[in-house]
Structure 1
Amino acid sequence: MRLHHLLLVLLFLVLSAGSGFTQVVRNPQSCRWNMGVCIPISCPGNMRQIGTCFGPRVPCCRRW
């Protein structure tokens, strides 16, 4: 019976950790929380866009 409880806790942790990676970055604060930077031009070559900061024109960029 203890094994079932352990597996249930493990399943809960896996599912709750996975949900954090599916959140959309849409403002400067969530951009910083995701280790990104708001850049008013397109992302440089060593960075990729992970969302937007102030609307569709300002990307939130993060290093690879």
Structure 2
Amino acid sequence: MNKRNAKGQRLAALFLLANLLFNYPLLALFNRADMVAGIPVLYLYVFGAWALLIALLAFVVEKR
């Protein structure tokens, strides 16, 4: 398997992971009135998942 094809498959996997993380069932788990350090749990989850996806995307794209 060549490197370009492997990178494309990893990017497709990240796309599917993003769809899973930002879909209804997982978002509903974190949609509560609880707060952590004064920040709603849902906001922490969304921005944490977003940051994780950005880090994974940078790792896949910049990997040599």
Superposition TM-score, scaled by structure 1 size: 0.37
| Structure with bigger RCO (C-alpha 8 Å, 6+ apart) | 2
More helix by share: 2
More strand by share: 1
Superposition TM-score, scaled by structure 2 size: 0.37
